[in-house]
Structure 1
Amino acid sequence: MRVDELTLKGFGKWRDATFRFAPGVNVFSAPNEAGKSTMLQGILAALYGMKRDYVKGARYLPEYDKYRPWHQGDYETIITYQLAGKSYRLHRYLLKEREQARIFLDPEWTELTDVYREDRRKERDFLEKHLGLSRALFTDITWIRREPLSAAEHLMPSLSRTDEANPAVNSMLAELDRDLTAIGKKERAENTMLGKAGALVAQKEAELASAEAAWSIISQLTQQIADWEAERHELEQQRSRLQQRKQRAHAREKVLQERWQKSYRFPADSDEWDWWDRTAQSAEEKQIHEAAISRIMAVPSAETEDIEPQIDRDKLQADYAKGIQLRKRWEEGHLRLAELAASALTAGTRRQDRQTDGQRKQQRFPVWLWGSAGLSAVLGIISGAADQPALSVILFVLTAALAGGAWVKSRAFARANREQAGSLKEAEAPSAAQEWKKQQEELAALDAELLRMVRMWGATDWEAFVEKRDEWLSRMRSRESSQLKAQLSQKDAKTQIAERWGDDLRRVLELEKAEMEREQEAWTSQWQSLEDRLQQIREEMARANGEIAAHDTVSVAKAKGEYEEAVSSLRQLQQKREALQIARDTLEEALAEWNREVSPGVNEHASQVLAQITGGAYRDVRLDPHERFAIRVLEPSRQLVLDQEHCSTGTQDQLYLAQRLALHAHVSQQSEPLPLFFDDHFVHYDEARLRQTLAYLMELSEEHQIFLFTCQDREMKILEPLLRVSNRHLVHTLG
């Protein structure tokens, strides 16, 4: 058995939700409250409905009210499944006041609902007819849960093998005999259930004959409507495909517009070239990009070879400005020396005027010395201003010597006049000498600093430094001019390449746009043809439905329904009698068969499963049919037989899995490979046993369809590499 598709029109949180399933493993990985358990209950409800088996008390399951639609809508499911090489579509309305179930055989959608009888719950036993399993037995076997079997007593009678008849067997055999007597053996007997059912069938058959003519017309119209419906469905699928083509065309058009806009901006880096390469729609376009890249790579670099030593222009200019300031201070210092010399000369002249005529004659020699010193100082200043520092220094030294001699001579002549000139001489001479000395030291320091600076630049003096500076600046300006020309040339070349690239690219884009416009015209025309045909089909179906309504459809349907109901009741009685007889015969052999054939095989299979998923930690399992198939395991290290409840939580989960898989394998062999459902079953598994168990499930998925619901990521991490090896599997996302 394989479930292909489930539609939950209204079930719990799901509304108009459709799910398609793979034949192998179907993984539903989502957090809690995402609707995983609701989907599992929806599958079971779609297959079996929501009524109880083996009715005791309430007719409906406790989950009935829990999974009523949250929204305002019908409590409705549709499921498509394959069984025994046939595909069935089962449609259920689950609301109590309008409960209904209809089954169709694909692909013709032939309705088979009336082929199946209703049980005492007024439920048609579609799956029980197909599989021989009630809902309770189906969930016990296929839904791997951490709880005991809910219908163990119906899976295999709890009998014991003794020579005398078991009391339970005798009780069941007596009840079977009473039921067989009430049903009867012949259809013509008047007082039996079979006789009454046969008479009712004859009556309803006569009533149905009078409506056959109208029914023939209705059948033809119904077949035509079914054909139109199939054609309409096919046309709507074509329209859906056209809609997808339209969406893809819009996406391509959007990308084309973006590429057209970007074709006016030449790519600036590798990321933009990568974008063009990814979005290229043809080999010609790729060649255009490759040619542009090649031409760009061939453009010469704008960098020129620098054979001159690197000169720090900012430092050169800073040192030049600093030298100008030093030269200015040097000139100001020499002017100050000249002023000091002139001041000393003027002071000597004033003292000579106050002396007597006899003293002036005696002082001619000192006066001559002072005049010479002044003349030498003036010449030193002029030499300094004329950029003759060596001569200027000599003259200033001579000035100092003459002034010193004049001063010594003047002291000799001035002793006589000490009372008159002593105070003035003592006030002026020390001050002038100190300032003279200080000025000389400052000038020497300026000369040394200037000389040290120009030597750093490889010059012997200030004039050589200025010449080198001018030469360096001229070379720098020449080199910058060459680089600018190279950059302009490179820019012109790149501009031409960009213009050629843009023109070639837009030519290709225009061809692509024209092709898209032709495709759009084609599917637009096809779309209009589909719409016209769909409108025509709708009109024809409306006309056919009107003709059907014109006939006495109510009486025909009622007559057919009553006849088929009578036939169904007769068949049910016949089948019930056969089933009771078979049950009576089978019941006597059930326990013997279990002990002889079923029990060893099931126990062996459960042991194999447990050994594989535990890595050989446990190898021997037994299922006890006398105690609702209770599970016992042999603890290998101590050789003790342990009941399931005495094992760890994780081991108990694995024992439940082994129990269900063993029973599942046995039942599948008797009927058809059944699916398996896991709803967060592996919570207590450790990492190693989880890997072993999932690997075993992948082996089972080759024959059985598996539904795995989980809210944890570790199952997905383990399954991802296993699921990729085959297209039989599918990972579902729940929005």
Structure 2
Amino acid sequence: MRIDELQLRGFGKWREAVFRFAPGINLFCAPNEAGKSTLLQGLFAALYGMKKDYVRTARYLPEYEKYLPWDGGAYETIVQYEVAGKSYRLHRWLEKEREQARLFLNPDWSEVTGLYQEDRRKERNFLELHLGLTRSLFTDVTWIRREPMAAAEHLLPSLGTDEADPAVNRVLAELERELAAIGKKERAENTLLGKAGSRVAEKERALAEAEAGWAAASSLARHIADWEAERKERERAREKLRQRLQRMEQEEAEWQARWRHSHVPPSPEQWEEWERNAVTAEERRLHRETRERLAALAARSVPDADTEPGAERERLESAYQRAVELRKAWEACREQVNRLAASAIAGTERPRQGRKAAGGLSAHRLLWAGSGLLMALAAGAFAAGRGAFGWIASVLAVFLAAAGAWRRRRARGNQRVPAVIKEWRRLQQEADRLEAELCDIYREWNAADWDAFLLLREEQMNRSRQREADRQAAEWKRREEEARLLARWGDALRSLLEAEKAERDRERDGLVQSLRETEERLQELREQIARASGEMGSHDAVSVARARSEYEDAAAALRSLQMRREALQLARDTLQEALAEWNRDVSPVLNGLASDVMAQITGGRYRDVRLDPRERFAVRLLEPDRHLVVEQEQCSLGTQDQLHFAQRVALLRLVSRQTEPLPLFLDDHFAHYDQERLERTLTFVAELSEEHQVFLFTCQERELTLLEPYLRGSDRHMVHRL
């Protein structure tokens, strides 16, 4: 066997560590606490796992807790090894209670895990099938250490010699396997004896059940009838609950719509819909009272305007517009009259001046002067708003002007009246007509003059504006009251809706709880009915006579198996005793191998060594000076270590003859060796490495120094620095 590579993906301090090994000596030099022992334990775990041998349940070695990954990761290893000319890759996950392993065959890495049968612990022991050695036997033979052998009694069948018949070992192994299959205790689960005992107990219970079955059948029938009636009643109740929950879902959707609409003031048509769809009498009363209050509020509202005051205001405004137009026309006429009068006066001044020159001021000139003075007075009166006085002065001024013209005309003979006088008269008549219309308007509105009429209009406008302001204030107040009323309605409605929703939620919770309880009870009833029906069926199918017959057959089979176990134990014990006697008296090969090793490493001082198979291969030697047989414990520490070395190497060689060359492991084994014996031992190890792969762990440099001639320039050996 050769180990080519080890990967410790999670083992103790090692994480994602890869080690490649030489076929000869692999020397690991490192100080203490560097991880040498962890590496060695990781190699054994990769090959065999971390479970104990020779137990039926999955019991782990004490080292399992010791070498848990420090980083808390997964317990995982990969090892590549060669056995019988075939190269394998074994991948293990060492999680407790979930240990897994996969085996691949080189060079194409085809998986061959399924080719190996599982043992009673549901495991595939690949190395045990390859080498015929369990984990305990492998470490006993290959690991040289100062400890007694852990599985010495199991090693005996593997130590065949030329003097012994190999069939004896095969027969003994077969007996052991058959006894293990039968088992020792009737309560074991995975042995034939345990299964037979379980079958007897099972058949005994079946017999008791069959005898009690007929008595229970009638009771079960009555129970089934009662449960069926209850089941039907529960199913009807469940259907009613489901229908009610569906209706509640519709009510919830309607409630959501009502909640949204509660934030929008209803129209007159919607008030009727709110009352019609009200859920409770309180809600219906809220809608009705709110609508009545809104109607009463609308009835108390201020009208837009009274008909008569509005018509009166319009008539007054029309009269005012007419008066403004008449006054503008009258003032225009008066302005033209004054202009014509001034023009007429200016035309009569030239003849007057001629007469002054001729003989003094004439009579018509005096009349025209008075007329001009009166016209000036009339203009002042009109400007001062004294229309009547102005008209009187104007008439007198016209009279005087006409008298002066007449006198002049008389003075001049048949002289004609100028055309301007005619125009002046026409305008004077138009002005009189306009003033008369203005006076009619004043009289209609009981006003003395234009100023009184303006004051009357201003008072009327103020009253109208006040009425409009009062109307708008009343309308605003009505709207505020309506808004407050609608807000109170919305708040009250939402409070009712929230109370309705809370009540519905409580009802839904109760319905859901009732439905859950009903479902659980229905499931329980169905299970009870099915179980009772099955029990009744079993009572009908199994008769008491057949159950008693099966019980008697099972008891007879158990007794037969017990007798066979006793016979096998007797045969095994007899054969083991004979084999032990043979090993004690006829095992010169093993003793010779151990003696040769001890003689070589001690320089011939100790030449006679014996191994006692009956006492776990205890080692004794013959002291050459006193010729006394000395137990191993009576020797010095160095000699004890050398005897352990001789013992393990002898077993290694003997077992390797039955399988193939096995590796050799030494973990700081040479601490008590003196220099001379160490040199001889390392020389022997170098010779041994030509056939066996050697793993040598040390914390000192002297092994490296002594092995330097063998390691230098050799591809078969390798030095590893940790």
**TM-score band, normalised by the shorter chain?**
0.3 to 0.5
Q: TM-score scaled by structure 2? A: 0.43
State the structure with more CA Rg. Answer: 2
